[in-house]
Amino acid sequence: MVGNSFGLLWKINSQKFKQLEIDFEKPLNIQKFVSKLTTYGLNQEQAELIVGKEKEKDFDILITELNEKIRQRKLKIENSVGYLVGVYQKKGILTS
């Protein structure tokens, strides 16, 4: 708790976020693709495995198709990250 003239402020589970870093050993487009995959909820290790075997263009097509199926109510997804992991497991990129 921190006191100030406005009353009390509660600080709960506050943590400093790590600033994204550029690794000059890896191409920037690879790092951007990994970042995109982690934004969709995949962890760093999964993202790096996918980047090694999948093109970003193909991932974008997959996401576009999934969004369209969801919009048309042809597909209902409760856990989108789990669904993406399943897709890449079927492709043999990720293991269970």
10 belongs to a structural domain: no
The pLDDT value recorded for residue 75 is 87
Looking at residues 74-79, what average pLDDT do you find?
A: 89
Q: Which domain holds residue 57?
A: 25-96
The pLDDT value recorded for residue 7 is 58
18 belongs to a structural domain: no
12 belongs to a structural domain: no
Q: Name the domain count of the chain.
A: 1
Looking at residues 76-85, what average pLDDT do you find?
A: 92
For every residue of 19-85, DSSP letters joined together read PP---TTS-HHHHHHHHHHHHTT--HHHHHHHHHHS-HHHHHHHHHHHHHHHHTTS---S-HHHHHH
Q: CB-based contacts of 51: which residues, under 8 Å, 6+ apart?
A: 30, 33, 34, 37
Looking at residues 57-78, what average pLDDT do you find?
A: 93
The pLDDT value recorded for residue 15 is 56
pLDDT in tens, 10-50: 566 555 555 667 788 889 899 999 999 999 999 999 999 99
